[in-house]
Amino acid sequence: MVILAAAAVMHFVPQVTDYLLGTWMVVGLGGAIFLSLMLLADRAQLWFDPLARFHCVLLTVYLVHQFEEHGIDIFGRAYALIGYAESVIADIGSAPGFTLTPLAIYRTNTLFVWLPFLTALWGNRRFIWPGLAAAGLVLTNAVLHIGLAVWREEYNPGLASAIVLFLPVGVLYFRFVVRCCGVGWQGIAGGVLFGIAEHGLLLLRIRYNLGPTMPPVVLAVIALAPLIANAIYNRWQRASAHDKSPLQQ
């Protein structure tokens, strides 16, 4: 968690950022391997409750997916997403002067993705909204990849992991939290809406060339919105329970 969080916040250290532009997905794959080995260890059954293990699984599958997108795809092509995304952007249109750069991709995938998943691991049952948001990102990203494949009738980088990993893991996570944590349809809808909102914001950044006007700290705050909202909601609940207690006495 420390390594992934550090890679996500290194946007503020230019020398490190320059190095990570082409290697962040390798760092992520290393994190996926580490998490997989940790989850297979016997001690993991004692250290983590079932929800925490599921949050680790969510992060693991997304790190694998990012490597297929930005590392090596199933056809052995390196960083094939940039060329594919540029062809899609040409079809849907974008603001004059928009260019898809490795820096923009690095910021989007670390700040917009890693932070919600890391806060899900940290918050666990106390702050469950980041977990719902992470699962929402998984499902909506899978739908995006599958929709692009149907529209263009071709493979896109990330499609295989979206079908094989994202769809089953996302559905199983929401099914699990309903049973173990009492999450209702409102929580599931909120997680899915967060995923839709993040992908919608990404499309707006492309359509209106908003990338240069959005500092990394703004992207980080948006990514941490589920945690912030959950903390406010928990505090409001405690305050409401405190106000009601004298009446109950």
Helix (H) or strand (E) holding 213: none
Q: How far is CA 179 from CA 45, 55, 183, 189, in A?
A: 19, 16, 8, 16
Query: What is the residue-averaged pLDDT of the chain?
Result: 84
Q: Bridge partners of 72?
A: 78
Q: Please check whether residue 51 is in contact with residue 125, taking contact to mean a CB–CB distance below 8 angstroms.
A: yes
Among the listed residues 134, 6, 124, 125, the one whose alpha carbon sits nearest the alpha carbon of residue 65 = 134
What number is the average pLDDT over the span 61-74?
94
Main-chain phi, psi angles of 78, to 5 degrees: -85, 130
- Provide the CB-side half-sphere exposure for 17 (13 A, CA): 16
CA distance 56 to 32: 9
Which pLDDT belongs to residue 102? 83
Residue-wise pLDDT for 118-174, tens only, equals 889 888 888 999 999 999 999 999 999 999 999 999 999 999 999 999 999 999 999
End-to-end CA distance of the chain: 45
Q: Model pTM?
A: 0.86
Asked whether the predicted pLDDT for residue 244 surpasses 80, the reply is no
Which pLDDT belongs to residue 249? 47
CA distance 226 to 218: 14
Cα 46 from chain centroid (whole Å):
26
Among the listed residues 193, 204, 196, 201, the one whose alpha carbon sits nearest the alpha carbon of residue 222 = 201
Which pLDDT belongs to residue 140? 95
**DSSP-derived secondary structure letter, 108:** H
Torsion of CA 114, 119, 122, 128, to 10 degrees: -130
Q: Where are the domains of the chain?
A: 2-236
The total number of residues shown for the chain amounts to 249
Which pLDDT belongs to residue 100? 77
Asked whether the predicted pLDDT for residue 26 surpasses 80, the reply is yes
> Within 10 A of 121 (CB to CB), how many other CB atoms are there?
19
Calculate what percentage of the chain has a pLDDT beyond 90: 37
Residue-wise pLDDT for 203-243, tens only, equals 777 777 665 556 777 777 888 899 999 999 888 888 877 66
Which pLDDT belongs to residue 171? 94
CA distance 197 to 203: 10
Which pLDDT belongs to residue 213? 55
